[in-house]
Amino acid sequence: MGTIKIKELISDLQDFYLFSIRGFLGTIKQPFYFKDMVEQMDYAGAGSFLIVFLVSLFIGMALSLQLSAELSRLGLKMYTGKIVGISIIREIGPVTAALVFAGRVGSGMASELGSMILGHQVDSLRVFGVDPMKKLVTPRILSSIIMLPALTIIGDAISLFGGYYIAVFVSHQSSTVYWSSIRDVLTFENVFAGAAKPFIFGYLIACISCYMGLSTKGGAKGLRRSTTSAVVISIVMIIVSDFILTRVLLYALGFSV
Amino acid sequence: MIVFDKVWFSYNTQQVLKDVSFSINENERVAILGGSGEGKTTILKLILGIVRPDSGEIVIDGENITSKTEEDLREVRMKFSIVFQEGALFDSLNVKENVAFCLREYSKLSEDEIDRKVREILRIVDVEHAMELMTDELSGGMHRRVAIARSLAASEPRMFLYDEATTGLDPINADNICRLILDLCKNGKGLVIVTHKVLDAIKVANRFMFLKEGMIIFDGDRDKLLHSTVSEIQMFISELNI
């Protein structure tokens, strides 16, 4: 029994690996389904804006509140902006946006493709000579790679404003000091370390969600299973890859640990 | 046109078809009967190369399709027109867009020409008035008609394949769909319909096969079917006496 499960897992990993490569190749090989991609970008980007706005705002405020409380005890309140800036830009912003994206967009992708499988719509595409990878998966990968970084930048800005509100109006710090600290941390290294991650996260979320969706079998129960798996695996992979990317980027950008 | 030679097929560990062999000519009207989960839909999927057999050969027009690539299968699939169970319409598109889907993908027709052709096809299946409706606004019967229209727009088929074309429809709508299926075969084209509704099968087909536990336990004409002594078939045809 155990051996069969391990074999299934290895086989699934192999399928996923090939699926991810085919998905990537789809972005550089014709035909391109531009209209589908724009539709997906609207769903993934514009549709996620409000939730990213709210989550980022409150995370920025909570972080600033925690730091202000702790730093004021040490007489170092003026560093609030700097620490909020570094945390948000390099780590919390990209991960938060990716987690929100996985929850909202990843689950949507998996359930949509899953119901298309169960309703024989994917079979119809194949019968009509349309490659489901090109028509369904590639536009979702591209839209995720484009929209998640955009959402991350917006989310970072909103978090910084949330942090500003707490630092200035609750913790009574100087507005000038807060923004000049933020300006100081907006170096190439910091921005690059944060901006590179969402591209990878977007690709991972789209590949995992599409793969799980297209692997759906077994009716409504199967659809529930594939949607849940898409979100859970995406979240785990975001956290794991974040650690790996952080390690690689810190090394590549010359930070000493 | 279609030849199955000792075909075995399984989904993971579940054996679906066991040593299935038959041949169907281009102008035959064949109904494959059987209960749910007996492998009826799988036979249609095998004909189109959507799934591949574990062993055995499937020959379409003299060509073995079991090892063909997805690109090569397109040519094979163009010989058929399939209507999947419950229509399988693209639910993000409206009726017109569903029917125009293949025309937009493959033809070089202008939007005006596509519009004209879509209207013409929808007129044939009598749902021209529903052109702008979304698929979730359609009744069951209209859903099947649009699915038939879409499959007609996709190719100039030599044979029609129907997966449970009348399942879930009331008797009047089911009868209308059967008439439409027969109308489309008027010029001698053949069909394969898989269904568990014997009444509808008898209306459209002149040859019947019966699947039981992945094997074909009956293959014959209407009279032979009605006088069969096989208990499962008798249970199915008891529907006709109601």
Asked whether residue A223 is domain-assigned, the answer is yes
- pTM value surpassing 0.90: no
Rounded to an integer, what distance in angstroms lies between the CA atom of residue B25 and that of residue B30?
9
**Residues on chain A touching B45 (C-beta within 8 angstroms):** 123
- Interface check for B85 against chain A (CB to CB < 8 A): the answer is yes
Please tell me the predicted confidence (pLDDT) of residue A8: 83
- Say if residue B136 is exposed, middle or buried (CB neighbours under 10 Å; 0-12, 13-18, 19+): exposed
Q: CA A245, A246, A251: angle at the middle one, nearest 5?
A: 100
Quote the domain boundaries for residue A106: 2-252
Asked whether residue A34 is domain-assigned, the answer is yes
Asked whether the beta carbons of A207 and A18 are under 8 A apart, the reply is no
Please tell me the predicted confidence (pLDDT) of residue B78: 86
Please tell me the predicted confidence (pLDDT) of residue A32: 85
- The residue of chain B with its CA nearest to that of A120 is B88
Per the CB < 8 Å rule, is B50 touching A121?
no
Per the CB < 8 Å rule, is B70 touching A131?
yes
Q: Is A101 helix (H, G, I), strand (E, B) or coil?
A: helix
Q: How far is B90 from chain A (nearest CA, A)?
A: 6
* pLDDT means over runs of 10, chain B (242 residues): 93 88 93 89 93 94 90 87 87 91 84 91 88 91 89 84 87 88 86 91 93 91 89 81 56
What b-and-e string marks burial along A41-70, b requiring 16 or more CB atoms within 10 Å of the CB? bebbbeebeebbeebbbebbbebbbebbee
Domain boundaries, chain B: 2-79+159-241, 91-156
Rounded to an integer, what distance in angstroms lies between the CA atom of residue B219 and that of residue B190?
17
Contacts of A209 (CB under 8 A, 6+ apart): A102, A105, A106, A107, A109, A110, A113, A140, A230, A231, A234
Please tell me the predicted confidence (pLDDT) of residue A1: 59
Beta strand residue intervals within A10-129, DSSP E? none
**Residues on chain B touching A130 (C-beta within 8 angstroms):** 105
- Interface check for B134 against chain A (CB to CB < 8 A): the answer is no
Per the CB < 8 Å rule, is A123 touching B45?
yes
Asked whether residue A65 is domain-assigned, the answer is yes
Nearest CB to B74 within list A119, A123, A129: A129
Q: How far is A50 from chain B (nearest CA, A)?
A: 24
Q: What is the DSSP string of chain B?
A: -EEEEEEEEEETTEEEEEEEEEEE-TT-EEEEEE-TTSSHHHHHHHHHTSS--SEEEEEETTEE-TT--HHHHHHHHTTEEEE-TT----TTSBHHHHHHHHHHHH----HHHHHHHHHHHHHHTT-GGGTT-BGGGS-HHHHHHHHHHHHHHH---SEEEEESTTTT--HHHHHHHHHHHHHHTTTS-EEEEEES-HHHHHHH-SEEEEEETTEEEEEE-HHHHHT---HHHHHHHGGGG-
Q: Is A172 helix (H, G, I), strand (E, B) or coil?
A: coil
Asked whether residue A208 is domain-assigned, the answer is yes
Low-confidence ranges of chain A (pLDDT < 70): 1
Asked whether the beta carbons of A166 and A63 are under 8 A apart, the reply is no
What single DSSP character describes residue A253?
Answer: T
Please tell me the predicted confidence (pLDDT) of residue B241: 63
pLDDT tens digit string along A146-177?
999 999 999 999 999 999 999 999 999 999 99
**Residues on chain B touching A120 (C-beta within 8 angstroms):** 84-86, 88, 163
Rounded to an integer, what distance in angstroms lies between the CA atom of residue B228 and that of residue A178?
89
Domain count, chain A: 1
Asked whether the beta carbons of A83 and A67 are under 8 A apart, the reply is yes
Question: Containing H/E element for A20?
Answer: helix A2-26
Per the CB < 8 Å rule, is B154 touching A130?
no
Rounded to an integer, what distance in angstroms lies between the CA atom of residue A231 and that of residue A109?
10
Please tell me the predicted confidence (pLDDT) of residue A29: 82
**Residues on chain A touching B99 (C-beta within 8 angstroms):** none
Asked whether residue A257 is domain-assigned, the answer is no
Nearest CB to A127 within list B77, B91, B106: B77
CATH superfamily entry for domain B2-79+159-241: P-loop containing nucleotide triphosphate hydrolases (3.40.50.300)
CA atoms B11, B13, B17, B19: torsion sign: positive
Neighbours of A148 (CB within 10 A): 32
Q: Is the peptide bond before A31 cis (omega within 30 degrees of 0)?
A: yes
Rounded to an integer, what distance in angstroms lies between the CA atom of residue B149 and that of residue B126?
9
Report ipTM (2 d.p.).
0.83
